[in-house]
Copies of this chain bind each other. A is one copy, B any other.
Amino acid sequence: MPVVTREEASAAPRKPAEHIPNCVTCKTRHLSICAALSSPELVMFDQLVQHREFPPKSVLFEQGAAADFVFSVSEGTIRLVRLLSDGRRQIVGFAIKGDFLGVGLESHYEFTAEAVDTARVCRIPHHGFETMADEKPHLLRKLHEIASRELHHSHDQMVLLGRKNAEERVAAFLISHRDRLARVSNCTVTIPLPMSRSDIADYLGLTIETVSRTISKLAREKLIVVVPDGVRLLDPDRIAALARG
């Protein structure tokens, strides 16, 4: 089964040509790891950073490969994928603007990261970043805060996967995704969903069909409206209540 064409799946990231991005003038700075850095540190950081654009379906890095880079996401959506040998897939997270990849500073990536839509990232050589973290405790502290937040979120996800039914899972996904988007944009009730039903299913431990049916059910009950590439929450409170379980 041919899944992707050579062009779109090319692992080679594109360098954006238009204008030169800069850490100091970066608008997503305060949302990202860079919020921990002072102005002079930002200048230093800027020396390390490589700006890259990954087209849809391209791979940022592969599970098990040497973790030569860490990443800060500037734009787009990235799925974080774990595979079983027989093809079963679990998505352990979606990274969006402001998110950091490689927070564990591990020597090898523990999941594969694939662009869902066009993703722009700051790519930082692992070694340089780690050196900087070792020299600047407040950066390490920020890194630890990020890891702690992710650990907390992964516990939420364990509750979801272990104990919630399909409807609760989908509702929880919508609310959690909305909350994350709200932090980095002005999204409130209309939630863009660039990822496929298959991605959502593999994130929620369900099948495509169950996700589709559940979304249809929520729509039938007038809790949401399905819009192109997303959903709109008609009754966010009741969705949130459902999500809680």
Using a CB–CB distance below 8 Å, which chain A residues touch chain B?
A: 82, 84-86, 88-90, 92, 103-106, 110-111, 134, 137, 140-141, 143-144, 147-152, 154-155, 157-159, 161-164, 202-205, 244-245
Contact A84 B140 (CB under 8 A): no
A158 interface neighbour in B90, B103, B143, B244, Cβ under 8 Å: B90
Q: Please, which residues of chain B bring their CB within 8 A of the CB of A149?
A: 104
Interface class of chain A by DSSP: helix
Q: Which 4 A-B pairs have the closest CB atoms?
A: A162-B205, A104-B148, A161-B161, A154-B154
Q: What is the CB-to-nearest-CB distance from A70 to chain B, in angstroms, rounded to a whole number?
A: 12
Q: What is the CB-to-nearest-CB distance from A87 to chain B, in angstroms, rounded to a whole number?
A: 10
Contact B205 A148 (CB under 8 A): no
Docked Cα-Cα span, A244 to B245, in Å, equals 30
Contact A162 B245 (CB under 8 A): no
Q: Please, which residues of chain B bring their CB within 8 A of the CB of A164?
A: 84, 88
Contact B163 A103 (CB under 8 A): no
Docked Cα-Cα span, A88 to B163, in Å, equals 7
Contact A92 B158 (CB under 8 A): yes
Q: Please, which residues of chain B bring their CB within 8 A of the CB of A82?
A: 155, 158-159
Docked Cα-Cα span, A131 to B203, in Å, equals 38
Docked Cα-Cα span, A159 to B154, in Å, equals 11
User: Which chain B residue has the least Cβ–Cβ distance from A159?
Assistant: B90
Contact A141 B141 (CB under 8 A): no
Contact B245 A84 (CB under 8 A): yes
Docked Cα-Cα span, A124 to B129, in Å, equals 31
Q: What is the CB-to-nearest-CB distance from A80 to chain B, in angstroms, rounded to a whole number?
A: 8
Contact B152 A106 (CB under 8 A): yes
Q: What is the CB-to-nearest-CB distance from A97 to chain B, in angstroms, rounded to a whole number?
A: 21
A144 interface neighbour in B144, B202, B204, Cβ under 8 Å: B144
Q: What is the CB-to-nearest-CB distance from A228 to chain B, in angstroms, rounded to a whole number?
A: 28
A and B contact pairs by CB, cutoff 8 A, 30 listed: A82-B155, A82-B158, A84-B159, A84-B163, A84-B164, A84-B244, A86-B245, A88-B245, A90-B162, A90-B163, A92-B158, A104-B149, A104-B152, A106-B148, A106-B152, A134-B137, A137-B140, A140-B140, A140-B141, A144-B147, A150-B151, A151-B154, A154-B154, A154-B155, A154-B158, A157-B158, A161-B162, A162-B202, A162-B205, A163-B205
